[in-house]
């Protein structure tokens, strides 16, 4: 059967996180990507203001990565991850740990952020068991948190639509901290809001309720991304770290969005000077060219597993594609570009320009809040009564006609442009969004 590359029959593909019926009635097909832009089949050229899905800070078609992947394909296309090793995987693990400022840490490779989170949760519970503290199985997430779509991730996550249909499948023994957003106290904040550090103290309430001896770990995004760029209140993460330390609870930072330079430093843990016991990463580690994720794990946690007969597997967990050679090649090349081309410093330079551009929309009809931190920002739109998410969808679609691709979550618009964007690209985002809001009505 010959397949027409431009076939209009879209029925076979069930698209993720997409209103399939609306999309297939008016499809938007990407034909090519280069630099900071996508080009659609209908010829529209779009500035990629969200770096793919928070994951392509180096832009598209980066020369270093393209060449590295091409070479890799003819050298080793696949290497088994179990009982056999591939040296570039060991080398990349060491580079990532050093890049994170944790050179003695260990790295466990996965294929996505969702897998990284589920891996970190399993390691946390396994760590306490390995130490003879098997009662510590409870996990604490946070409302409005996003930790991927694995059962572990949606269990500790706090996004209602992601959880609602799968409530019967949730892992037991999970509780949630309150989210940190309060529009009345923090609207139109640049950087960390001054209000809200006290919300971390709710962890003490959960400890009193469940007893610390039952709690394995707390997992939070340092900056909540998918629910609309929610920076942590000043002092909030420090309080979480202190409480966890005092009660022997592991602290996990989900840095799938913030890792590899989004805040102008390697990881959000660096930006906030808070050291978690584990960090999850994915997305930008390969510039999204090849799927890759992982967990950075403290030596204390890793070493707790290293006991018993040395011929037995210490952690019964892993994936066929853990440390995939193609992903390793892309990861090395992406890290080369970030470090040698000074792109993290460039992200830091562009951050105030983005903040200025986005906050210039304050006062625009229909805009009820704006938040920014590092090279990421979000705008909350006033919902259409009785039709949540419709205004956001209309503005998203209108923005495409303005030549802008943005991230849509309900009635929240998010931007996180590539580190290689020009200043003129950043400055154009706000007028394009303003025009899209006006066009959507």
Mean pLDDT of 407-431: 97
Distance CA 381, CA 434 (A): 12
Distance CA 274, CA 223 (A): 13
Q: Which residues pair with 413 in a beta bridge?
A: 379, 408
Q: What number does CATH give the domain 66-340? A: 3.40.640.10
Q: Which residues pair with 218 in a beta bridge?
A: 140, 251
The string of pLDDT tens digits covering residues 310-355 is 999 999 999 999 999 999 999 999 999 999 999 999 999 999 999 9
Question: At 441, is the pLDDT very low, low, confident or very high (cuts 50, 70, 90)?
Answer: confident
Which pair of tokens denotes residue 86?
């591939």
Number of H helices, E strands in the chain: 16, 15
Task: Tell me, yes or no, if the two domains 20-48+343-440 and 66-340 fold the same way.
Answer: no
Question: At 150, is the pLDDT very low, low, confident or very high (cuts 50, 70, 90)?
Answer: very high
Distance CA 338, CA 56 (A): 12
Distance CA 13, CA 192 (A): 41
What is the predicted pLDDT for the residue at 9?
87
SS3 268: helix
Q: Residue 333, by phi and psi: left (phi above 0), alpha (psi -120 to 50) or beta?
A: alpha
Distance CA 293, CA 281 (A): 5
Mean pLDDT of 215-226: 97
Mean pLDDT of 31-60: 97
Burial of 32 (0-12, 13-18, 19+ CB in 10 A): exposed
Mean pLDDT of 139-147: 98
The string of pLDDT tens digits covering residues 426-438 is 999 999 999 999 9
- Per the listing, tokens 């050298």 go with 75
User: What percentage of the chain carries pLDDT values higher than 90?
Assistant: 98
pLDDT at 2 over 50: no
The answer to whether residues 176 and 141 touch, using CB atoms and an 8 Å cutoff, is yes
Which pair of tokens denotes residue 74?
């003819």
pLDDT at 4 over 60: no
Question: At 114, is the pLDDT very low, low, confident or very high (cuts 50, 70, 90)?
Answer: very high
Mean pLDDT of 210-214: 98
> For the chain, what are the domain ranges?
20-48+343-440, 66-340
The string of pLDDT tens digits covering residues 276-320 is 999 999 999 999 999 999 999 999 999 999 999 999 999 999 999
Instruction: Provide the 10 A C-beta neighbour count for residue 441.
Output: 11
Question: At 8, is the pLDDT very low, low, confident or very high (cuts 50, 70, 90)?
Answer: low
The answer to whether residues 2 and 10 touch, using CB atoms and an 8 Å cutoff, is no
Mean pLDDT of 67-90: 97
Q: Which CATH class is domain 20-48+343-440?
A: alpha beta
What is the predicted pLDDT for the residue at 7?
52
Mean pLDDT of 256-271: 98
What is the predicted pLDDT for the residue at 6?
54
What is the predicted pLDDT for the residue at 117?
98
Which pair of tokens denotes residue 171?
């892992």
pLDDT at 3 over 80: no
> Nearest 5°: phi and psi at 358?
-70, -40
The string of pLDDT tens digits covering residues 12-29 is 999 999 999 999 999 999
% helix / strand / coil in the chain, to the nearest 5? 40, 15, 40
Mean pLDDT of 106-116: 98
């Amino acid at each position: 059967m010959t397949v027409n590359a431009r076939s209009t029959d879209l029925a076979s593909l069930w698209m993720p996180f997409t209103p399939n019926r609306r999309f297939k009635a008016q499809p938007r097909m990407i034909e090519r990507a280069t630099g900071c832009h996508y080009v659609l089949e209908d010829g529209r050229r779009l500035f990629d203001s969200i770096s793919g899905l928070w994951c392509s800070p180096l832009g598209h078609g980066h020369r270093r990565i393209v060449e590295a992947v091409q070479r890799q394909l003819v050298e080793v296309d696949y290497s088994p991850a179990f009982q056999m090793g591939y040296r570039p995987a060991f080398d990349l693990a060491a580079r990532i740990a050093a890049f994170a400022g944790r050179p003695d840490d260990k790295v466990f490779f996965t294929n996505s952020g969702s897998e990284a989170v589920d891996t970190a949760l399993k390691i946390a519970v396994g760590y306490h068991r390995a130490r003879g503290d098997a009662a510590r199985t409870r996990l604490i997430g946070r409302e409005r948190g996003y930790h991927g779509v694995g059962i572990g991730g949606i269990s500790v996550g706090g996004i209602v639509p992601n959880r609602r249909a799968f409530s019967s499948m949730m892992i037991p023994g999970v509780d949630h901290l309150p989210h940190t957003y309060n529009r009345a106290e923090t609207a139109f904040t640049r950087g960390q809001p001054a209000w809200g550090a006290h919300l971390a103290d709710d962890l003490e309430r959960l400890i009193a309720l469940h007893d610390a001896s039952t709690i394995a770990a707390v997992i939070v995004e340092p900056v909540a991304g998918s629910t609309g760029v929610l920076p942590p209140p000043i002092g909030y993460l420090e309080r979480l770290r202190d409480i966890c330390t005092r009660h022997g609870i592991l602290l996990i930072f989900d840095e799938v969005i913030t890792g590899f330079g989004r805040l102008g430093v390697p990881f959000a843990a660096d930006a906030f000077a808070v050291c978690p016991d584990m960090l999850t990463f994915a997305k930008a580690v390969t510039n999204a060219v090849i799927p890759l994720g992982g967990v950075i794990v403290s030596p204390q946690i890793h070493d707790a597993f290293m006991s018993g007969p040395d011929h037995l597997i210490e952690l019964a967990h892993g994936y066929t594609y853990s440390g995939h050679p193609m992903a390793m090649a892309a990861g090395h090349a992406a890290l080369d570009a970030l470090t040698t081309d000074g792109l993290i410093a460039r992200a830091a330079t562009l951050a105030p320009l983005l903040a200025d551009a986005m906050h210039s929309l304050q006062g625009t009809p229909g805009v009820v809040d704006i938040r920014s931190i590092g090279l990421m920002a979000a705008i909350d739109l006033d919902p259409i009564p009785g039709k949540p998410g419709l205004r956001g969808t209309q503005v998203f679609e209108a923005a495409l006609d303005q030549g802008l691709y943005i991230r849509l979550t309900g009635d929240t618009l998010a931007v996180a442009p590539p580190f290689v964007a020009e200043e003129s690209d950043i400055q154009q985002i706000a007028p394009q969004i303003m025009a899209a809001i006006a066009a959507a009505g």
